[in-house]
Chains A and B, each alone.
Chain A
């Protein structure tokens, strides 16, 4: 091995992030509870510098490092920026919520940063071993964060469920990967693709491993029929942790899926397209229908995430760079929508009161017209009503599906989305036409209120000009995933 093949500079943002987390871990030990704000500022500063390093290190062509196990390309760079934004939003929105519940501790920040490190590794890894370690780093940090609220029975139960099912999913994924290794004799994403292309792989064994890999990915996406953990974990986890689970890791799992399915197993696209189709249709159907029956809004968001992930899978199963780009756009816009939804819930929560029922939003318009409007934007965007971002996300995925002559699939997706619009609009109805049950003022930091407003307004602004973001993401995917070239 030489210095050139090590080439550690491709991972500058990750290396900085790791050093910064270790420093924060130590500094936090000497900070009293009253001055926890220092940790908060340091954490946001770390996120800012990491994002700046990603932007500064961005180059048009992909760069390999660490003996071809780490790849910095346009896809991973944009995904990393999205994840950093997702984690930052969790910390900003969750600050006063965490303070009121005794979760405002150093571990809240360091574990969030560790999970971000895992996600960033997942986005850049092109070796199955590195991919897997990144996934575990992300998952383990999030399991611990869900369990951080030890005195709550619901949180502990949610953490336990998430941990056991997550470990099962990791086992499936690892078993599938070991089969792929057995079939091709390598763990490198590009070498596997090459072996399959040249016909030197054991095809039956690849399909065998593929089934387990798709199962594991289905668990991590929370796609039906591997969704059992989603509603319980969403409901039981403290709201900032729910927001974290539902936003940034989805981007990481999305890129992970592209690396495994679109890049390593490109030659087996006909096989995995069929599997993803079943997962996608079931997710969109079951997610939207079951969400109608929920009275707990966090649980409702859980089912809504399942249906949104169905759309992401729809884009992936198109198996063209444009399809991947549509899914990438969807995942990124879901990050903004999900963060906004949970942000409003945390705004409504206060010490000793947990806003987790749909009824808790009653008459929000009379309590705070501005944030009722912001929640309206979020709900309209999630439902996919035109001029909001969510509409264009759905539209771009459906366009690619129709281009692939799978009109029936698009019809099914639209039909279930229409059914799903009911429960989003019910939230809007409750906010505007019901009388408030409480007249408590909304207490949250000035920063959270400003960022939440910008977040929700972005759903409208980006919806009015979706082409800017879309072009950037299409370009990123097209530069990173080139069919047939390894």
Chain B
């Protein structure tokens, strides 16, 4: 058993543990931190596969940016996680059984003696993987790369369409309108006769009593 295999197992075990804790942790902030841990471990696994550019970008983008934002959201939103978790234990027996069967089947297939998963393709380049990746993205994978850009545009359009709304009770004031305002727009002078002082009249009370 060589060194890289030992590293793989250590980090893989931590990865599985962290992923398990993401869904079982009681405190949502802990869950997010465990997710960060699992991202970090998968970055190390990528590093073992000599995909250092992907590993670094996973840490920079996911751990550094996305998860921090996520942590903010989790802390800002007032969600009753205890209530959400109630159904977790309710569905665990069925879901756990299905997951266990699937896991057993997958292990059975992959450890089958005909599986022969040992002919792993070694990366066939000596230069940095970022350079190779860059060349491939702009040549062979030009189309999916461009389409991913369109996908991000759709994400942007959708996010704006779903969140931008004109509030009905907004207090926004247009400064232009405010300056152009005239006295007539604000004050209305009404001429009316002065009303006589109200005198309680017992005789007419039965006939024309006010509706109120």
The docked-state distance in angstroms from the alpha carbon of A129 to that of B110 is 24
Whether the pair A18, B143 counts as a contact (CB closer than 8 A) is no
Closest-CB distance, A47 to chain B (whole angstroms): 18
Q: A111-B154, A148-B161 are in contact. Are A67 and B147 (CB under 8 A)?
A: no
Which residues of chain A come closer than 8 Å to B106, judged between CB atoms?
Answer: 208
Q: Which of B112-168 contact A (CB under 8 A)?
A: 112, 114-117, 119, 121, 139-144, 147-148, 150-151, 153-155, 157-158, 161-162, 165
Whether A127 lies near B144 (C-beta < 8 A) is yes
Distance in Å: Cβ of A10 to nearest Cβ of chain B? 10
Measured CB to CB, the closest approach of chain B to A141, in angstroms, equals 5
A144 within 8 A of B: yes
Total contacting residues, chain B, CB less than 8 A: 28
In the complex, chain B residues whose CB is within 8 Å of the CB of A1: 139-140
Contact B114 A204 (CB under 8 A): yes
User: In the docked arrangement, what's the CA distance between A18 and B110, Å?
Assistant: 43
User: Which of A110, A137, A185, A208 touches B110 (beta carbons < 8 Å)?
Assistant: A208
Residues on A with beta carbons closer than 8 Å to the beta carbon of B153: 22, 114
The answer on a CB contact under 8 Å between A140 and B110 is: no
Q: Tell me the complex Cα distance, A129–B114, Å.
A: 28
With most chain B CB atoms within 10 A of its CB, the pick from A69, A203, A204 is A204
A207 to B105, CA, bound (A): 12
Assuming the contacts A148-B162, A204-B115, asked whether A133 and B144 have C-beta atoms less than 8 A apart, the reply is yes
Number of A interface residues in the complex (CB < 8 A): 40
B117 to A205, Cβ gap below 8 A? yes
Residue of B nearest to A148 (CB): B161
Which residue of B is nearest A147, CB measured? B162
A387 in contact (CB, < 8 A): no
Task: Report if B109 contacts A (CB, 8 A).
Answer: yes
Does A277 have its Cβ within 8 Å of any Cβ on chain B? Answer: no
Given contacts A143-B158, A204-B115, 16 further A-B contacts (CB under 8 A): A66-B142, A67-B140, A67-B142, A111-B161, A129-B141, A129-B144, A133-B144, A136-B151, A137-B147, A140-B154, A141-B158, A144-B154, A148-B162, A150-B165, A202-B116, A202-B117
Query: Which residues in A have some Cβ–Cβ distance to B below 8 Å?
Result: 1, 6, 11, 18, 22, 25, 66-67, 69-70, 105, 107, 110-111, 114, 117, 121, 127, 129-130, 132-134, 136-137, 140-141, 143-144, 147-148, 150, 182, 185, 202-205, 207-208
Where the two chains meet, the residues of B that have a C-beta atom closer than 8 Å to any C-beta of A are: 106, 109-110, 112, 114-117, 119, 121, 139-144, 147-148, 150-151, 153-155, 157-158, 161-162, 165
